[in-house]
């Protein structure tokens, strides 16, 4: 069996571009014989079937939290990409995964973290503390045999392009604005939102490096340009030709839905997410905060306008 690069969440918003990008990057390198194992919830989904057509890619249907040392050894997994969930039990499940990976001889892991300005031990929101704890764990001497890179991307472009596209499509269909334009951003603070596709492409470039030890432990990733809530509103108005009737900045009403969907979780913990956007509102998540090494490896390219236009064609 060939050495394997495992992509956890291969059909997800970052994993998909990892799988699409890796085959070409591995060509003509010392890693060209490595197999790409794309882990998915369903090998029968259209997205999974499309990935299976790529050279050197195989599909596996498995729940990553149930992967143990033996599973990894059997498949000769030597490198891993993972974008974990951010539910309250994230640390237990993701840390167990890394312990199993270490014991199985995995040499390099690329993981998705969250907004760099929030990754500290006293962040008021719960999930950035989890990312801090995982990064701290991986930094310990016990994990010295497994190199790792934690990508700290800013909030994803799709979170803003999706409601904008929905309003535009509805207006084109009915001539009416049936609901508000809800944005987590505030009106005036520039923020370097990033397309998850770019994050996956960057991760693929790291995974394709012949010498994984040359990679950093942490990379801050923001988009190619800053944007404000007011600028997003203006772009929507260019499409519909009239003013947006109801725009809601710093809108965190989605938390009500999250609480209802997770009745088994502590409401206090889930609602702590309301503190996560504050650093962006304070101007601490601008494009300029991106790690300088990112441009040397693969600089994010996709702008809000490009992502919005793409969504409108779907």
Domain boundaries in the chain?
Answer: 4-154+196-221, 158-192+224-285+301-313
CB 221 within 8 A of CB 158: no
Q: How many CA atoms lie within 13 A of 299 on its CB side?
A: 11
| pLDDT for res 314 | 87
Give the pLDDT of residue 312: 97
Contact 11, 3 (CB under 8 A): no
* pLDDT score at 248: 97
Task: Return the CATH number of the domain spanning residue range 4-154+196-221.
Answer: 3.40.50.720
Task: For 189-218, give one letter per residue: b (16+ CB within 10 A) or e.
Answer: bbbbbbbbbbbbbbbbbbbbbeebeebeee
DSSP 81: E
> In which residue are the tokens 């495992």 written?
6
Task: Give pLDDT, residue 154.
Answer: 92
Q: Along the chain (314 residues), what's the average pLDDT of each consecutive run of 10 residues?
A: 93 96 95 96 92 93 96 98 96 98 98 98 98 98 97 95 96 95 97 97 97 94 97 98 97 95 94 97 96 96 97 94
Q: How far apart are CA 223 and CA 211, in angstroms?
A: 26
The whole-number pLDDT of residue 74 equals: 97
- Give which of 101, 24, 115, 41 is closest to 67, Cα–Cα: 101
Q: At a CB cut-off of 8 Å and minimum separation 6, what does 265 contact?
A: 87, 88
What contacts 18, CB < 8 A, 6 or more positions away? 7, 10, 81, 200, 201, 203, 204, 207
Angle among Cα 221, 160, 128 to the nearest 5 degrees reads 45
CATH for the 158-192+224-285+301-313 domain, from 3.40.50, 3.30.499, 2.60.40, 3.90.25? 3.90.25
């Amino acid at each position: 069996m060939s050495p394997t690069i495992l992509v956890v969440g291969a059909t997800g918003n970052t994993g998909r571009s990892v799988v699409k990008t890796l085959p070409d990057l591995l060509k003509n390198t010392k890693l060209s014989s490595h197999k790409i194992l794309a882990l998915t919830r369903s090998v029968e989904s259209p997205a999974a079937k499309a990935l299976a057509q790529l050279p050197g890619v195989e599909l596996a249907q498995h729940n990553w939290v149930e992967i143990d040392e033996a599973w990894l050894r059997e498949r000769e997994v030597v490198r891993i990409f993972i974008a974990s969930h951010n539910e309250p039990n994230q640390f237990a499940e993701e840390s167990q995964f890394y312990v199993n990976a270490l014991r199985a001889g995995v040499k390099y892991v690329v993981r998705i973290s969250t907004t760099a300005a929030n990754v500290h031990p006293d962040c008021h929101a719960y999930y950035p503390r989890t990312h801090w704890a995982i990064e701290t764990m991986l930094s310990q001497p016990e994990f010295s045999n497994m190199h790792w890179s934690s990508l700290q991307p800013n909030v994803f472009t799709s979170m803003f392009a999706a409601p904008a596209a929905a309003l535009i499509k509805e207006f084109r269909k009915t001539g009416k604005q049936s609901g508000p334009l809800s944005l987590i951003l505030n009106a005036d603070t520039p923020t370097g939102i990033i397309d998850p596709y770019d994050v996956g492409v960057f991760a693929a470039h790291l995974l394709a490096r012949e010498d994984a030890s040359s990679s950093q432990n942490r990379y801050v990733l923001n988009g190619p340009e800053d944007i404000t809530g007011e600028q997003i509103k203006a772009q929507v108005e260019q499409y519909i030709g009239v003013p947006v009737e109801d725009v809601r900045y710093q809108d965190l009403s989605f938390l009500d839905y999250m609480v209802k969907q997770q009745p088994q979780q502590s409401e206090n913990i889930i609602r702590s997410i309301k503190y996560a956007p504050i650093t962006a509102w304070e101007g601490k998540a601008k494009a300029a905060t991106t790690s300088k090494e990112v441009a040397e490896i693969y600089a994010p390219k996709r702008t809000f306008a490009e992502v919005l236009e793409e969504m409108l064609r779907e």
